[in-house]
Amino acid sequence: MNKFGVAWFRDFIEFITHDTQKKLISLRRLVNQLHFRDGRSKKAIAEQLRVSKHFVIRWTQSMDQDVTIDHRGWPKGRRRRWSQETEGRIASLHKELKGGPDAFYWGPTAIAQEWLSRYPAELPPPLRTIGQILKDLGLSEPHTRKVRKGASRYLCYPEHTIYETLGQRVMEADFIGKKHITGTQQPIHFLAFSFKKTPRLRHFQRIEAQSAHCFIEQCKHFFATFEKPDCIKVDNAAATIGSGSGKRTISRAVQFLLANQVVPIFAVPRKPFSQASIEGNNSVFARKFWHRRTFGSLEEIDASLVSFNEASLKYTGYRPPVQEVDSRRTFVPRVYFTRQVRETAERTDGFIDVLNESVSLPKAYINYFVLAEWNLSTELLRVYLENDKQLEEIKNSPFPINPRSKRKLEKGGALSFCH
């Protein structure tokens, strides 16, 4: 047992298990008790607790010394830098933003933006300070984030390649469905768009159905209103990826995107983290828009959605990027698929599913994430593994376009961009 004895050990355990705010006071009290109650020397206390001798001397002035005294240099309960006037201003802005007729955003970022608009000669406090003030005033809303344990990175999910290599502007799109309003059983659907990289943007549009037609029409509107991305990342819904049984087919949505020189990227099936940006924005849509209002008609939804999109534009500060026109750039029609390698039923190899076609891979890659590139000009499929932000090719094989699908495309003149 420690040379200070059982009592000291018990006190020390009590100290290290205290709340963070009480640790310093507990340490002061422990130092004082060890010296006056247990008769330990100041040098021994400093060595055992690994504190400075000056600290020990300071808190062993007398047996009844007040160890809770505050030496911060400013009144307890007040902030060192930000005045009560600042706190009052933040509280007022929060109340106005939250209580407005078209209120959607009233957190630290929205408050800082409104502060700059109203008081341009004064810089607002940092966002963390605004957040802390809101918390201290009981005005913040708890929001629990799911903790990611880094499995996607450990299993080589191609995050860097998708967002840094394939294109400068990678947009994510996703359907939001199965919403209902009182008085009707007919489901209400939305389509969400999101940019993960700056300039960030989130945009939502009500649609009639989760169909290829609605997806194409809303993409046309988005491209004309905001910008046309280099790539668009979507999930594996029938409206975007196409047939659930036909092999190596090119869906209407993919055909549309390639005709507009936008590269489709399909997310990993049943892995929401691979659409993290758009899933996060869908959560914002639910919390800030859908669950905060009661709608009685589609007209009410559409009118409120206009206001929500305008508020989102202001919140993110979106400005269309200046896109450089490179006349030497040649568009290569290709489609990307992010997939997780699974084990075959015979447990002999690994495989991924690409457009209902099983692509075999070495067993060593089972559970890893890979990126498959389908070049429509060469009709080749290359499968890559991202390792330390670099791609390593692990598979290269012919992947011809489905003959029936190809005939339809040729008949409509849609394959002109592929050759």
Summarised one tens digit per residue, pLDDT across range 151-162 is 566 688 999 999
- What are the phi and psi torsion angles at 218 (to 5°)? -70, -30
What band does 136 get if pLDDT is binned at 50, 70 and 90?
confident
Tokens of 58: 């300071």
Indicate the pairing of strand 350-354 with strand 342-343.
antiparallel
Question: What gap in Å lies between CA 338 and CA 353, rounded to an integer?
Answer: 10
Spacing of C-alpha 96 from chain mean position: 28
Which residue bears the tokens 């932000």? Answer: 389
| pLDDT in the model for residue 22 | 66
Tokens of 244: 């659930």
| pLDDT in the model for residue 18 | 45
Question: What gap in Å lies between CA 410 and CA 405, rounded to an integer?
Answer: 9
The rounded percent of the chain whose pLDDT value lies above 90 is 45
Rounded to whole angstroms, the maximal C-alpha distance in the chain is 97
What is the mean pLDDT of the segment spanning 225-248?
93
Question: What gap in Å lies between CA 18 and CA 179, rounded to an integer?
Answer: 47
Model confidence at 6: pLDDT above 70? no
Helix (H) or strand (E) holding 85: helix 84-99
For the CA atoms of 379, 381, 386, 391, the dihedral, rounded to the nearest 10 degrees, stands at -50
Of 202-211, 228-237, 406-415, which range is least confident?
406-415
What is the mean pLDDT of the segment spanning 340-361?
93
Please answer whether residues 214 and 208 qualify as being in contact, where contact means their C-beta atoms are separated by less than 8 angstroms. Answer: yes
Question: What gap in Å lies between CA 161 and CA 12, rounded to an integer?
Answer: 51
Tokens of 119: 């008081």
Tokens of 47: 């060595």
Question: What gap in Å lies between CA 307 and CA 389, rounded to an integer?
Answer: 40
* Cβ within 8 Å of residue 117, ≥6 positions away: none
Tokens of 21: 């705010």
Question: What gap in Å lies between CA 38 and CA 89, rounded to an integer?
Answer: 52
Say whether the peptide bond before residue 333 is cis (omega within 30 degrees of 0): no
Q: pLDDT tens digits for 151-195?
A: 566 688 999 999 999 988 999 999 997 888 887 888 999 999 999
User: Where does 41-83 have alpha helices with state H?
Assistant: 42-49, 53-58
